[in-house]
Amino acid sequence: MVHAAVAGDIAEAEEIQEILREAGIESELQSGDDDSLVILVDESALEAAQDAIESGTEPDDLVAEP
């Protein structure tokens, strides 16, 4: 599993996971630094996951990439 995005809180993490689920991509959450949550996906799905997250979030939303 590789780092696909970082969420600031559980609500944001769940929103990102839902976007990924709708794209057919499985993900896991892991605790990050400073109470953030890291969204992990299979390495083979990383590019598709990043595309799905980018297209499924507002441009002003902060989604960190590795």
Question: In which band, very low, low, confident or very high, does the pLDDT at 29 lie, cut at 50, 70 and 90?
Answer: very high
At 33, the amino acid letter reads D
In a domain, 66, yes or no: no
Asked if the structure places residue 64 within a domain, the reply is: no
Residue 29 parent element (H or E): strand 27-31
**Residues 35-56: tens digit of each pLDDT:** 889 999 999 999 999 999 888 7
- The answer to whether residue 31 is domain-embedded is yes
Q: Which two tokens stand for residue 17?
A: 């996971």
**Alpha-helical runs (H) found in 1-66:** 10-22, 46-56
Residue 62 lies in a domain: no
Answer yes or no: is 65 within a domain.
no
Q: Give the pLDDT of residue 55.
A: 86
pLDDT band at 32 (very low <50, low <70, confident <90, very high): confident
pTM of the model: 0.79
Give the per-residue pLDDT at 18. Answer: 94
Domain that holds residue 6: 2-56
Q: Shortest CA distance to 29 belongs to which of 54, 3, 53?
A: 3
Q: How far apart are CA 35 and CA 24, in angstroms?
A: 27
* CATH at residue 12: 3.30.70.1530
- Count Cα neighbours of 15 within 13 Å in the Cβ-side half-sphere: 16
